[in-house]
Amino acid sequence: MKDAGSYLKDKKCVNMHPFPLPFAIYAGMLEDVYCIANSVAFTSVCSPGMYGVMRHFIAGLPGTNKLVLDDLLGLCIPVEGSVPAPTYSTWTRQYITLLTSYGRLPWLVPGEEMTTSAAEDAYGDDDKWDVVANVTPLHYLHTMRLGLMGADKINANRHTCYIIPAGTADKVPLSSAYAKMYIKRRSLVMRIPSAIVDDHWIVVPPVGRRDFPVYPGAHLSELDSSLPVVQADKLDRQHEENFFSALYG
């Protein structure tokens, strides 16, 4: 949050919308910035943006059965020519509808709006997916998907690659500690450097996978080891929700 104000000084707020979370569009000379819940969250227009990198990274991961969750602004569209295209689901399409009405999304956004419980029922089969990616960088929203991609689900689905939000650079030690304590296989930190606040993710590859697609802008590294951790046998759901809420705060 401390970086958001300075980054917005040269931009003009051209839209504000209160629901379902505070949302604003800031126009700049070179790029526009979309903000959700008063956090600089997405880049677009003249910048290739975080989502251009993210969607190519996902497209390059092995497998044919991929699930993309919570692309709230409809920016993580399938890479052209990718067959089959990933399955998409989001807990709200209000932002997508808003941006489409402004002519900011000239493409047809795939996917459907589903409640958390409906998504868990539809997509929660063990080891059904090759990739499950929560692409919204607002990691506190991840609490809505713990039944699909919380620590227990990740540990149960050993053959699925998971991508979960990890917050800002200063929260990477805490995110890494979470992965070390509760995820029972190798995990990595991915950063997509861009003019946003939350630009880090935890990537959990399937058991035995060592190689990843190489795409400019997606930087993978080992977990931060600056915080000591104690191995835990189980993570209570409420504690996990509190963890991601704390990351956002």
Is the pLDDT at 233 greater than 90, yes or no?
no
Quick check: 54 and 136 in contact, CB under 8 A? no
Quick check: 93 and 68 in contact, CB under 8 A? no
Confidence of residue 66 (pLDDT cuts 50, 70, 90): very high
Cα–Cα separations (whole angstroms), residue 137 to 66, 100, 106, 199: 18, 21, 23, 6
Q: Which domains does the chain have, with CATH numbers?
A: 48-248 (3.40.50)
pLDDT score, position 41: 59
Confidence of residue 195 (pLDDT cuts 50, 70, 90): low
Rounded distance, CA 220 to CA 62, Å? 17
Share of the chain above pLDDT 90, in %: 35
Is the pLDDT at 56 greater than 50, yes or no?
yes
pLDDT score, position 9: 75
Please work out, in degrees rounded to the nearest 5, the angle formed at the alpha carbon of residue 114 by the alpha carbons of 109 and 118. Answer: 145
Confidence of residue 150 (pLDDT cuts 50, 70, 90): very high
Helix, strand, coil percentages for the chain (3-state, nearest 5)? 30, 25, 45
pLDDT in tens, 69-112: 999 888 888 887 777 788 999 999 999 999 999 898 888 888 88
Answer with the residue of higher pLDDT: 220 or 246: 220
Rounded distance, CA 231 to CA 181, Å? 5
Share of the chain above pLDDT 70, in %: 90
Is the pLDDT at 50 greater than 90, yes or no?
no
User: Across all residues in the chain, what is the average pLDDT?
Assistant: 84
Residues facing residue 168 across a β-bridge = none
